[in-house]
Amino acid sequence: MAEAIHTEARFNDEDAARDYLESIYWPRGPVCPHCGGTDRNTRLNGTAHRPGLLYCADCKRQFTVTVGTVFERSKVPLHKWVSRRT
């Protein structure tokens, strides 16, 4: 029997899909989509923050890898977008 084509975690898990997109869009680390800052970005972890949220100390704004992309306001889960891409 043939093996399923979408067995990688990025096709089934939101966090893995986000990590995959970050590795594509930010190969050298996060870049603020608001000001272009790269040096003072901090990942916000904790129960009060949504997964993948970053804070730019240069412009004092929050962002994720989806800001400014077609994924930003989509109701379709990120892992489904990623499975369409590959």
pLDDT in tens, 37-75: 999 999 999 889 989 999 999 999 999 999 999 889 899
Q: Considering only residues 82 and 45, tell me which one the structure prediction assigns the higher pLDDT.
A: 45
pTM to 2 decimals?
0.79
Q: Which SS3 state, helix, strand or coil, does residue 54 take? A: strand
Q: What are phi and psi of 17, to 5 degrees?
A: -65, -40
DSSP letters, 23-59, are HHH-TTS---TTT---SSEEE--STTS-TT-EEETTT
pLDDT at 2 over 50: no
The overall average pLDDT reported for the chain is 86
pLDDT at position 1: 44
CA 71-49-61 angle, 5° bins: 70
| Inter-residue contact 71 to 78 (CB < 8 Å) | yes
pLDDT bin (cut points 50, 70, 90) of residue 24 is very high
